[in-house]
Amino acid sequence: MLAPERRTRADLLTAVAIAAVVAIVTVVVVLTSDVRGTQSQTAAHTLASPTTPESLPSAYKELWSAADGATTRSLAVGGVAITADGGTVSGRDPKTGAQVWKYQRDIPLCAADMQFGTVTATYRDQRGCSQTTLLNAESGSRIAARSSYMDDTVTLSPDGTYMLATGPDRMEVWRSDLVRTLEYGYVDAPVNPHTQPRPDCKLLSTASAPTRVAVLERCPKDDADRLSILNPAPKDGTVPEEYSSHVLNEPGGAVDGARVVAVADSRIALYLPGTPTTPPALTVYDVNGNLVGTHQLSAPFTAEAMVIHLSTGFFVFTGDSLIALNAATLDPLWGSPKVLGTPALVSGQLLVPVADGVAVLDPATGAQTSRIPVARSDYHGQGISLAAVGTTLLERRGTNLYALGSTS
């Protein structure tokens, strides 16, 4: 019979050392983990989706306001208004501004946007705007997360199928579950070297449709901006699939300030600034990058220019005027001067911010049918983005979101 094993003093010391190391590692993980710096308060109950108002009010008044510095447009889903500022994304009661849920981290927000009842929030750490969380917009519960190398600044833009995350050097395309379908531009550690066609170019502007991504970029060896049209979901997301790529020879193609305006399944619209001899223009291209239309503008885009895609088409705020584009061809349909931002569609009518309130336009023709007065507080000429939640109208201007309701 074998003698029973006996624990020696060395065995005990080794066990204590292992236990101490495990305890230290556990403490370090807890102290440095994302969980420690995150607060998630989900909604106690879901706010009911409001009904569409049968008629518009005779006047609007401001109901509440909240900081909203991390978005670029008014965000609302179901019965919830969304704000994002500092490190916090909040779901709010649109009538009172009361916070019904929040997701907060101890690192700054880079950007936030929404589609399909979810909010995408991207946070900055030492790898850039690399930490992204997908939230249920009505409850605030976390659905998914991703982490990857990104630029220090990014812009989020949804197209109804994909979400683009674009910085000056790198772009990613994400599915609705945050799975990446495409990376483009600079790659810090390429899995397949030499697969990016132009990793040293600066990305100026991007936009997408479910079947196309348009990238406007400036490359060191090109004399003007380059328009590249990509597959948003190639077989290998690390290997971009180009439908076309060419340097813009049109007037304004070498002038700073050009941007992608809109992308449809078979058309891409760009804004090209004016030159000393030519006016600014909206130019339209097919999927092969061929120029199919040029529409001259009476004035250049300003820094406040914005684009919104509603069910009836694209609406372009130039900084002074609103231009409606055909949803398929991207040709201009009508223009409305002296507006302050992008519209919202309410009860089949287009509500557009103007100097003394909100103009009500026919979406098909741009004809004004009425005007609703609004007394805006602390307004300094910023572009305004509108959205509607039932009878509440949301105005994002500057870095704040304002809720407007009926005066009666």
Look up the CATH number of the domain holding residue 42.
Answer: 2.130.10.10
Give the chain's mean pLDDT.
92
Around 370, how many Cα atoms within 13 Å sit in the side-chain half-sphere?
Answer: 9
Give a yes or no: residue 276 inside a domain. Answer: yes
Of the candidates 123, 160, 258, 162, which has an alpha carbon nearest to the alpha carbon of residue 202? 258
Reported as a pLDDT band with limits 50, 70 and 90, residue 352 is very high
Reported as a pLDDT band with limits 50, 70 and 90, residue 30 is very low
CA–CA dist 131, 145 (Å, integer) = 7
Q: What are the strands of the beta sheet with 259-263, ordered from one edge?
A: 259-263, 268-272, 281-285, 291-296
Reported as a pLDDT band with limits 50, 70 and 90, residue 36 is low
Question: Residue 129: which domain range?
Answer: 37-406
Give a yes or no: residue 213 inside a domain. Answer: yes
Cα 228 to Cα 153, 156, 203, 313: the distances in Å are: 22, 19, 11, 23
Give a yes or no: residue 103 inside a domain. Answer: yes
CB 60 within 8 A of CB 404: yes
CA–CA dist 231, 376 (Å, integer) = 43
Cα 198 to Cα 25, 195, 201, 212: the distances in Å are: 42, 9, 6, 18
Give a yes or no: residue 317 inside a domain. Answer: yes
Q: Would you say residue 359 has pLDDT above 90?
A: yes
Number of domains in the chain: 1
CA 227 to mean position of chain CA atoms: 21
Classify residue 49 by its DSSP letter. Answer: P
Give a yes or no: residue 16 inside a domain. Answer: no
Least trusted range by pLDDT, from 28-37, 38-47, 196-205, 261-270: 28-37
Reported as a pLDDT band with limits 50, 70 and 90, residue 28 is very low
Q: Would you say residue 290 has pLDDT above 60?
A: yes
H or E stretch at 25 = helix 9-32
Q: Would you say residue 336 has pLDDT above 50?
A: yes
Reported as a pLDDT band with limits 50, 70 and 90, residue 26 is very low
Q: Considering the chain, what percentage of its residues have pLDDT values greater than 90? A: 83
Give a yes or no: residue 147 inside a domain. Answer: yes
What would the two tokens of residue 359 be? 């103009």
pLDDT value of position 18: 65
What would the two tokens of residue 7 be? 């624990």
Give a yes or no: residue 281 inside a domain. Answer: yes
Query: What tens digit of pLDDT does each residue of 237-256 get?
Result: 999 999 999 999 999 999 99
Give a yes or no: residue 32 inside a domain. Answer: no
Query: What tens digit of pLDDT does each residue of 293-319 get?
Result: 999 999 999 999 999 999 889 999 999
Q: What are the strands of the beta sheet with 109-115, ordered from one edge?
A: 109-115, 118-125, 128-136, 142-147
User: What is the mean predicted confidence (pLDDT) over 73-90?
Assistant: 96
User: What is the mean predicted confidence (pLDDT) over 203-231?
Assistant: 97
Q: Considering the chain, what percentage of its residues have pLDDT values greater than 70? A: 91
